[in-house]
Amino acid sequence: MGAPGRSAAFAFRLEPVLRARRWTEDEKVLALSRARMRRAATVERLRALQREAAVCHRALTETAGEGATGALLSRLARAVESLAQEEAATVSLLHAEDSQVERARADLIEAARGRKVLERLKERQHDSHRQWVEAASRRQADDLASAHHLWTGSVPSPARAPRS
């Protein structure tokens, strides 16, 4: 049944590489997930800062309208300014995290592409192997049928063929 160097069982020689590609892709999925979670936390922090800054700004305007002392107004103004600086830093961090999310997404796409290439190669080789096994099985069946006919005399031999 066999051709030299081939066995009936299919073995993909690049299976360890395919496994490594799958692991790499899984790691990239986790990296993207972590980047998205960091970004979501930063967005939430930015919203909280904006709410807090709005509250401080309202308090400053209300206090200024009531005729508060300069020290209190100065303290409220510093709080508003501090929150504005923290908000600007958080916006910068958000932009950096957006870049990290995009980089993680691109890395995941590249890892998936590499895995898919290997899986298509494995599928093609598996189909080729299956066709080879089927052809070998047909050849073996043909050989057995021919041998059976020769042994049972069902096929006229050249010596017994009728002469014309």
- pTM to 2 decimal places: 0.68
CB atoms within 10 A of CB 16: 9
Q: What pLDDT sits at residue 71?
A: 83
pLDDT tens digit string along 25-68? 999 999 999 999 999 999 999 999 999 999 988 888 888 777 77
CA dihedral 26, 29, 35, 37 (to 10 degrees): -100
How far is Cα 89 from Cα 38, in angstroms, rounded to an integer? 15
Q: 69 falls in which pLDDT band (50, 70, 90)?
A: confident
32 touches 105 (CB < 8 A): yes
